[in-house]
Amino acid sequence: MRRKHRRKQTTPELDITAFLNLMIVLVPVLLLSMVFTQTRAIGLNFAEQTASADARDDESLELRVILSGNDFQVESSREGLVEQINGTATGPDFKALTDVLKRIKYSVPDKRNVTLLVGPETEYQTLVSTMDAVRSYPAVVAADVVQAELFPDIALGDAPPLPSKEGGE
């Protein structure tokens, strides 16, 4: 006769302490090392295409910045064309635009809105950079660089069509 020796089969215990230790250390390290990006939404208004002359107040100043290609035209309802800013070889001259708008802001400090009229050929990055130049500029206040406000309320619209450059037809 044979004896059957059966070993007692026990279920092994799950030792998850090493895994828990890893998670306790790894999760906070990963969370602390994440780079958080800041996403900001910019509120835009759309420029009205038709505005009656009776509805306009003579005292109100309507400021328009027209972007066509690499050139800017700054116009106001009082003076007409304020300044034509030609682009440089590398692109639009945002510094010159900011300087013109600083002069206007100095003469009308309570003005907060501007209409930005852009052509269909305008690139997205050029539009965003123009909006940044119109909204604010870096200024030094008490040894700190801050963003000084120019015209933060931006209305966006289509630029008027450029005059045809065809000569003979």
Coarse DSSP helix, strand, coil percentages of the chain, rounded to the nearest 5 percent: 25, 30, 45
pLDDT (tens digit, 9 = 90+) per residue, 40-91? 666 666 666 544 444 444 457 888 999 888 888 898 888 888 888 888 888 8
At residue 148, the pLDDT reads 83
Give me the mean pLDDT over the 35-39 stretch.
Answer: 59
Q: How far is CA 113 from the centre of its chain?
A: 16
- Tell me which residue range forms the domain holding 108: 60-158
Residue 154 in domain: yes
C-alpha 73/C-alpha 137 separation (Å) is 19
Q: How far is CA 26 from the centre of its chain?
A: 36
Residue 148 in domain: yes
CB atoms within 10 A of CB 31: 8
Residue 123 in domain: yes
pTM over 0.85: no
CATH number, domain containing residue 79:
3.30.420
Residue 37 in domain: no
Residue 125 in domain: yes
pLDDT (tens digit, 9 = 90+) per residue, 124-154? 898 899 998 999 888 888 878 888 888 888 8
Contacts of 63 (CB under 8 A, 6+ apart): 74, 75, 76, 77, 104, 111, 113, 114, 115, 151
Number of domains in the chain: 1
Residue 40 in domain: no
pLDDT (tens digit, 9 = 90+) per residue, 100-116? 999 988 988 888 888 89
At residue 120, the pLDDT reads 84
| Amino acid at position 11, single letter | T
Residue 150 in domain: yes
Q: Using alpha carbons, list the distances in angstroms from residue 35 to 27, 30, 31, 32, 38.
A: 15, 10, 9, 8, 10
Name the most confidently modeled range: 10-14, 16-20, 157-161: 16-20
